[in-house]
Structure 1
Amino acid sequence: MLKYMGKPLLEQLWDSPTFLWLGPKLGLDTQQGMELICLLGIILSFGAMVFETLRDSLVFFFLWTLYLSVYQCIPTPVAWFAHQLPDWFQKLSVVGTYIIEIAVPFLFFIPLRRLQLFSFYLQVPFTYIEYDANSRLWPAVRKMYEAVDRYQLVNSYGLFRSMTGIGGRPEVVLEGSYDKETWTEIDFMYKPGNVSITTPIVIPHQPRLDWQMWFAALGPHTRSPWFSSLVQRLLQGKKDVIELIQADGFKYPFSKSPPTFIRAKLYKYWYTLVNKDGSLPQNWWRRQYVEEFFPTVFLGDPNLESMLSHYGLKDRVSTKRISDAFLPTILRTLRENVQTLTGPQFVWSLFCSGAAICLLKGFFSSTRSNKHKPVFETKKSKGKDTGSGMAKNEQVKKKADRSQESLEAKQPESSEGGFADSDKSTKKRK
């Protein structure tokens, strides 16, 4: 939440540059201001794809250059098939990495330009993002970066120091119960949970909660203070938090009433393998229980209350102002209409709509051009036929003149009588 300290707008933008400071002037709170910024980004992205004038503008350029990556920490169904590749291919990729990391650098010292360039293109892109190679910067460069860091003009990149996959993929599984005896797992929309269900393809959507659950599994829950707040909201049955886990309320096992108890377990997940007879297995995953990740708690539990107090996440009594202005009302209406859709469904529906509009525009423009094209060709062909007809008439006329001249040349020069006889014969023929 932003704290409005009564400072002028320019000072607030200087301390924390964000358009959220304009929210009160529009009758919006912080959450609605963030939704408005996201909505504007969606409109600009959609318009840039559909309208040519926006595609040629800087808006379209920056929307695509600021897009960070399509790679997610959440595996896709395609990853399962990649996991089934032969062992020799997997080992070959590891050997290739070792060669690039260890052997290729010595090519820099060989006085052959082609080998030096080959080593450059294999090594420099990696060392550019490698932390140790850029940890010792000049103080002047570091000061310049710190001066503009608040504006987020550029971003720092770094490798993950600890990654999953070696010895299994750790995953946190939430469980709820009414009587502390029968426990039901709470499945998320995007992260691995149920071993018989694969994770969907979510790009270009980024599910923040599922991503954070992946990071939380890399260490104890004390390294993720937000997890205790998540458990509290689920015990309270907060609708906004439940929709982050399951957009479809019927898929949430405690949709009728919130659970009385909640706990979390840590598992190690592996992909299943193809059966020996070549048939596909029934499950996508196999897992093994590791340890308890979060103890069993309930509303008013002293352990839960102490954790929330320690992290400063205790509920604070605050009256949320509901504005009846035009813009907040529009945002609430839009959220009510799309809250049942998952992230990928919403993003891909916009993309497909834009693609359909572009295809229809191309189709109608081609039909218009085809309607005018035959008329032009007909006129053109008529002109060609007229020209060719005139040329033929001229040729026939020239032939007739030549034949007439030849006849006149063959007639002998005679007296007037002879000419008179010829004239008579001509008259008889006529």
Structure 2
Amino acid sequence: MVQVRYTRNLFLRGMCIIYLFAFLSFYIQIPGLYGDNGVLPARAQLDSRGGNTLSQQIKQKPTLLWLAPYVSLNTEYMLDVLAILGIVLSFTGFISQRFCTAPVFAGLWSLYYSLYQVGQTFMWFQWDILLLEAGFLCIIVAPFWYPRQKKTSTPATALTFWAVRWLLFRLMFSSGVVKLTSGCPTWWGLEALNVHFESQCIPTALAWYAHHLPTWFLRLTTVGANVFELVIPLLFFFPNRKVRITAFYLQVFLQLNIIATGNYNFFNLLTICLCISLLDDQFFYKRKSKNSQSDFADYFSTVICLFVYAGVIYGTYVYYDLKITENLTIESNIAFTKEQFDYTLSQMLSNSVYIGLVSLGYAMADAVAHSILSVQGSLLTRIVTTMTTLLYAAVVVFLFAISVVPFSALHPSHNSTVPAQLKHIHSRVDHLHLVNSYGLFRRMSGVGGRPEVIIEGSNDIEGPWREYEFLYKPGNVNNSLPFVAPHQPRLDWQMWFAALGTYHQNPWLMSLAYRLLAGQPEVLALINQAKNPFRDSPPKYIKASLYHYHYTPWSQKSSSTWWTREKVGEYFPIFSRDHPPLIEYLTKMKIIQDMIENVNPTLKLILNSLRSMVSKIEASLLLWSVFAAGCAIIMSGYNWVKH
């Protein structure tokens, strides 16, 4: 049996770090996004009228926020409590392996799911549901407790850890598939990365330099992204461990490049954490002694690995028509048609499910066999271990079965072949996000210029109009490009999505406009207060304009300007604070309503004091400071034990 005890422990510690970043980032933004005076107050999602019992309320919307009245708190302060509990639990798991247990991860999942339930448009991101799915897997991967004496992993450990690898496969493969099934001309023309670095939500400073790389190199990099997401995931279940380890390095390399050029919060770190499922304990603890047979097996394994990846390189050369030109550049073009890809995809989906099923069957058989034959102890111990393994096997089989439903949706022909009973079971648990469909960057936006919504205020309807600057998203063309991950400024992110549509498709913008007109400090904290043009008093009028942004040319980078922009037109019309349609709409949406303060004064004082301290530190700096503190605690504990 392959040992994955240390590998599993590393994965669980990593998941605690991801949870820590996620809860901290959310906590910072609660007042401005979900507070009583925020953009989308969470209380509007919890209609407690009608005399429903607690069980009825939880059935209506499963969230721990319903417990707020029982601890003498309102919804906003209860959000603080849940986020703080998540921070504490994840931090303890980060600094001590003994807290990486199933009950702790069950608590973390419940807390994040409770926040997600009222997150609305600011939490409808794939990384949030990915964290929920990965977090649920942690519950079955983690042990119930860590015994004081060291022991090898139980037979069920490798089996449950297999479910993490299946999630990684679905995430990466789906992300590659949707880019081509969407029919997006930039992906099919291998021009996606010529646009991506400029058009992504919050680019880093390195994205500017990446954007100005030679066109042929960016096209070749697009080929690499296709191969890394479409082909390499198929090797995640290859029997040869060196093939899987090489796949691990390739996927981590891809994620590190994304981290360097784009601020995607904790998403890429979470993906790297999932990649640990491709490893085993032997990766960290090499065998000290080998005989001639093991030397030959290792040599043969290396040959197989080289042969497999040579095949991948050759396939890339053929299907992407790679040619070296006279200028020593590499020319690339997709050498297959959409019809050929569609047919191949239909075959690959079936085969990948069968491969997953065979791999799962082998993992189950191996786990059960070792439960019966390899467990030391009495007959009762063997029986209990076997029954436990079978229980975990049933859970993994259930998750695998329902994951086939969203996975099959990648191709219409397979979606129709999924049994109706399986679809029904999936629909019953879909709201829990135990399994999800994935696929990022389905279509490349910003081909003709990066759209940006610029909000402006004025005390006179005739002007002059002065711009509000956000903390991280592009606005002022002279502002430098930030490194903000793993923090996710959710308002900045949503402003990027708003620019892709109209304000009618993003009604939350009306609430943002109203809060700015009211000078609400909780919302103003989410934008750049140092450059707030209405610091003394809010404006009388608000409007928004749509601009197209482009990176400055390479030859002009000697100046401090990172962007050039041109105005496209009006985004939303002029509003005033007493604009009747605006007030009527926000009242109907329960954003404006009378509030009844019913908060325990002691708890309120404690929570306000804590937030006051936290608000003095920039968000990304706070996240990395807490992480550094955890690392310092771990190292000091290690040194104490060592001495």
Residue 186 of structure 1 pairs with residue 314 of structure 2:
no
State the alpha-carbon separation in 2 of the partners of residues 158 and 54 from structure 1. Answer: 33
Q: Which has the larger radius of gyration?
A: 1
Instruction: Please tell me the residue identity of whatever aligns with 1:270.
Output: H
Residue 86 of structure 1 pairs with residue 367 of structure 2:
no
State the alpha-carbon separation in 1 of the partners of residues 614 and 546 from structure 2. Answer: 33
State the alpha-carbon separation in 2 of the partners of residues 128 and 281 from structure 1. Answer: 51
Instruction: Please tell me the residue identity of whatever aligns with 1:233.
Output: R
Residue 340 of structure 1 pairs with residue 468 of structure 2:
no
Aligned-CA RMSD value: 3.5
Which residue is 1:102 aligned to?
336
Residue 213 of structure 1 pairs with residue 495 of structure 2:
yes
Which residue is 2:575 aligned to?
297
- CA, structure 1 residues 184+11, in 2 after alignment: closer, same or farther (shift >3 Å)? same
State the alpha-carbon separation in 2 of the partners of residues 193 and 132 from structure 1. Answer: 41
Cα displacement (A) at 1:50 = 1.4
Cα displacement (A) at 1:335 = 1.3
State the alpha-carbon separation in 2 of the partners of residues 298 and 161 from structure 1. Answer: 38
What count of residue pairs does the alignment treat as equivalent?
349
State the alpha-carbon separation in 1 of the partners of residues 434 and 582 from structure 2. Answer: 40
Return the structure number with greater helix share. Answer: 2
State the identity as a percent: 39
- CA, structure 1 residues 24+76, in 2 after alignment: closer, same or farther (shift >3 Å)? same
CA contact (8 A) 1:270 1:287 kept: yes
State the alpha-carbon separation in 1 of the partners of residues 611 and 457 from structure 2. Answer: 28
Cα displacement (A) at 1:301 = 2.5
- CA, structure 1 residues 227+141, in 2 after alignment: closer, same or farther (shift >3 Å)? same
Residue 285 of structure 1 pairs with residue 563 of structure 2:
yes
Cα displacement (A) at 1:201 = 1.9
State the alpha-carbon separation in 2 of the partners of residues 76 and 146 from structure 1. Answer: 39
Which residue is 1:228 aligned to?
510
Which residue is 2:55 aligned to?
10
Gaps of 5+ in 2: 1-42, 110-130, 137-167, 176-199, 227-318, 321-333, 346-350, 357-403
State the alpha-carbon separation in 1 of the partners of residues 603 and 591 from structure 2. Answer: 31
SS of 2:510's equivalent? helix
SS of 1:341's equivalent? coil
CA contact (8 A) 2:454 2:467 kept: yes
- CA, structure 1 residues 108+226, in 2 after alignment: closer, same or farther (shift >3 Å)? closer
Which residue is 1:33 aligned to?
78
State the alpha-carbon separation in 2 of the partners of residues 132 and 185 from structure 1. Answer: 47
Residue 150 of structure 1 pairs with residue 415 of structure 2:
no
Which residue is 2:600 aligned to?
323
Cα displacement (A) at 1:255 = 1.9
Which residue is 1:354 aligned to?
630
Matches within 5 A, 1:24-423: 24-55=69-100, 59=104, 65-66=134-135, 73-94=201-222, 97=226, 99=320, 102=336, 130=410, 132=412, 135-136=415-416, 137-159=418-440, 162-179=443-460, 180-246=462-528, 249-275=529-555, 280-302=558-580, 304-305=582-583, 307-308=585-586, 312=589, 315-324=592-601, 326-366=602-642, 368=643
Cα displacement (A) at 1:318 = 2.8
CA contact (8 A) 2:552 2:562 kept: yes
- CA, structure 1 residues 14+57, in 2 after alignment: closer, same or farther (shift >3 Å)? closer
State the alpha-carbon separation in 1 of the partners of residues 616 and 436 from structure 2. Answer: 34
SS of 2:592's equivalent? coil
Q: Which has the higher contact order (CA 8 A, sep 6+)?
A: 2
Instruction: Please tell me the residue identity of whatever aligns with 2:219.
Output: K
SS of 2:436's equivalent? coil
Cα displacement (A) at 1:323 = 2.5
TM-score by length of 2: 0.49
Instruction: Please tell me the residue identity of whatever aligns with 1:344.
Output: S
CA contact (8 A) 2:407 2:437 kept: no
CA contact (8 A) 2:472 2:482 kept: yes
- CA, structure 1 residues 316+105, in 2 after alignment: closer, same or farther (shift >3 Å)? closer
State the alpha-carbon separation in 1 of the partners of residues 410 and 446 from structure 2. Answer: 21
Name the stretch that deviates more: 73-82 or 88-97: 88-97
SS of 1:315's equivalent? coil
SS of 1:267's equivalent? strand
SS of 1:196's equivalent? coil
